[in-house]
Amino acid sequence: MSKLPSGAAVLLVGLLAAAAASTVVDAEVLVPIGRPNGNSGRLHWRHPQAAQGHAAEAKLADAARGSAAKAVSIRPAAAAKLPASAAVPSSGLPGAQMAAGPPAAALRYNPAGLPVVAALKARAPAVPRAAARDRPVQAVLQIDTHTATLPVSPLHKYTWWTFDGTVPGPVVRCRLGDSLEVRHTNRDATGLGHNIDFHAVTGPGGGAAATYAEPGETKTALFKLVNPGLFIYHCAAPPLPAHVANGMYGLILVEPETGLPPVDKEFSVIQSEVYAKEGTAPGQLEHAYSDGMDENFSPMFVVYNGAVGALTEKPLIVDQDDRVRIYFGNAGPNKIATFHIIGMVFDKVYRDGDLISPPGRSIQTVVVPPGGAVVVEFTAVVPGDYKMLDHAIFRVDKGCVGILKVRPKGTDRRLDLFDPVE
């Protein structure tokens, strides 16, 4: 721990946090510098204010090292920006210890002054577009937790516990070598504590304790992404099964350094089970923890992207001959998923979300365990509507079905491949 008086340490961490906040920029405003890289063909780039921000961070770090015993003043405006974790005494949780630790620890993963940008995230089934860059950044992921009452079927609503107000939570896209700076703000009015266990993170709990926040708190933690792949993240606050079953899960993609081959359309789909019973209000369901505890119990619904009909009311739409990539995750909590698209053979399957090994070829159905993911690709050569489903086929009647619509392009219906004859 720091030798600083605890109050000074808190103020210094607050100053550093405020400085970091001032250097966060949207990835969209990054500007290219220099000429295209001869090896990769990609542009080098930086944000116009990045150098200024890094200089400010270095100045603060120098000040922190040189004035350990001095009183530190802080402007009211900067104090107002302090995250809750820096403004309150340590709760004894590892996350609070990280926030109140020495400044050197806070900068441990950014010694070379990585550009600080907002993390790329999108609402499923959308996927953020790949960043056009060939070096790592410090990606700041602001993620809020709170409840949200949303339709879970055409006849029912459910009060979910959410990341950013949606089920699933946002799809996050990073690159191997990035530092992921997670800022978790708990806005849960019902009084529940939440956290985030990223399966992409190497370290205790996948960051769960480090990101644990009580209502009204913000917790910040920094994770180096050292394994490429497609990963699940979820809340792991106790009781853990209830937080997952109540909708607290999402996908994080860590692209290899070379990126992924370009495709025409990308989507994200997460399968999950809903354990629920009729509530006191008409049409309002309540969580049924005991149903989930019995692994032989059949859930009320099995859904894609949080609701019966989510991907039938709003199909995934592509054009004929589009190259298509689907990032698929299984949040469980209990059931193994068997993902299949009727009438489509996946010509690339990155099994278990493994983006390093050669992909499988010519595969009909993929098995995805709870807490696992897969990436599938195909080319949509024959126009028409295709059903996506769990081939544990009774689950279709529980809601686990979506539609992929392939719109015709031109007049060639590819009768050479598929001819109804009459």
Residues flagged as binding site for Cu cation: 194, 199, 234-235, 243, 248, 391
Of 18 and 248, the one with the shorter C-beta distance to Cu ion is: 248
d(CA 313, CA 151): 12
Smallest gap from Cβ 186 to Cu ion, in A, equals 9
Indicate which single residue of 237, 302, 344, 406 sits in contact with Cu ion (rule: CB under 5 A).
Answer: 237
d(CA 305, CA 123): 10
Q: Which stretch binds Cu ion (CB under 5 A): 121-129, 242-250, 277-285, 399-407?
A: 242-250
d(CA 50, CA 114): 9
Binding to Cu ion, residues 176-195 (CB under 5 A)? 194
Smallest gap from Cβ 136 to Cu ion, in A, equals 29
Smallest gap from Cβ 268 to Cu ion, in A, equals 21
Could you say whether residue 196 binds Cu ion (CB under 5 A)? no
Tokens of 222: 């920094």
Smallest gap from Cβ 194 to Cu ion, in A, equals 3
Neighbours of 290 (CB within 10 A): 10
Indicate which single residue of 86, 100, 131, 235 sits in contact with Cu ion (rule: CB under 5 A).
Answer: 235
Could you say whether residue 248 binds Cu ion (CB under 5 A)? yes
Q: How many residues does the chain have?
A: 422
> 103, 16 in Cβ contact below 8 A?
yes
Smallest gap from Cβ 243 to Cu ion, in A, equals 4
Ordered DSSP codes for 347-399:
SEEEGGG-SSSPPB-SBSEEEE-TTEEEEEEEE--S-EEEEEEESSGGGGGGT
Please give the span between the terminal C-alpha atoms of the chain, in angstroms, as a whole number: 78
Please give the torsion angle defined by the CA atoms of residues 300, 306, 308 and 310, in that order, rounded to the nearest 10 degrees: -170
Of 199 and 243, the one with the shorter C-beta distance to Cu ion is: 243
Of 145 and 268, the one with the shorter C-beta distance to Cu ion is: 145
Smallest gap from Cβ 278 to Cu ion, in A, equals 24
The contacts of residue 259 (CB under 8 Å, 6+ apart) are 130, 175
Of 84 and 263, the one with the shorter C-beta distance to Cu ion is: 84
Nearest residue to Cu ion, by Cβ distance, number only = 235
d(CA 195, CA 234): 8
Could you say whether residue 175 binds Cu ion (CB under 5 A)? no
d(CA 255, CA 262): 12
d(CA 315, CA 162): 23
Q: Compute CA 53 distance to the chain's CA centroid, rounded to the nearest angstrom.
A: 27
Q: Which stretch binds Cu ion (CB under 5 A): 245-253, 257-265, 308-316, 339-347?
A: 245-253
Indicate the pairing of strand 301-304 with strand 348-350: unpaired
Smallest gap from Cβ 271 to Cu ion, in A, equals 19
Of 119 and 237, the one with the shorter C-beta distance to Cu ion is: 237
Indicate which single residue of 146, 156, 243, 395 sits in contact with Cu ion (rule: CB under 5 A).
Answer: 243
Tokens of 306: 């949080």
Smallest gap from Cβ 237 to Cu ion, in A, equals 4
Q: Kind and range of the H or E element at 21?
A: helix 6-23
Of 196 and 401, the one with the shorter C-beta distance to Cu ion is: 196
Of 207 and 383, the one with the shorter C-beta distance to Cu ion is: 207
Binding to Cu ion, residues 11-70 (CB under 5 A)? none
Residue numbers at the binding site for Cu ion (CB under 5 A): 194, 235, 237, 243, 248
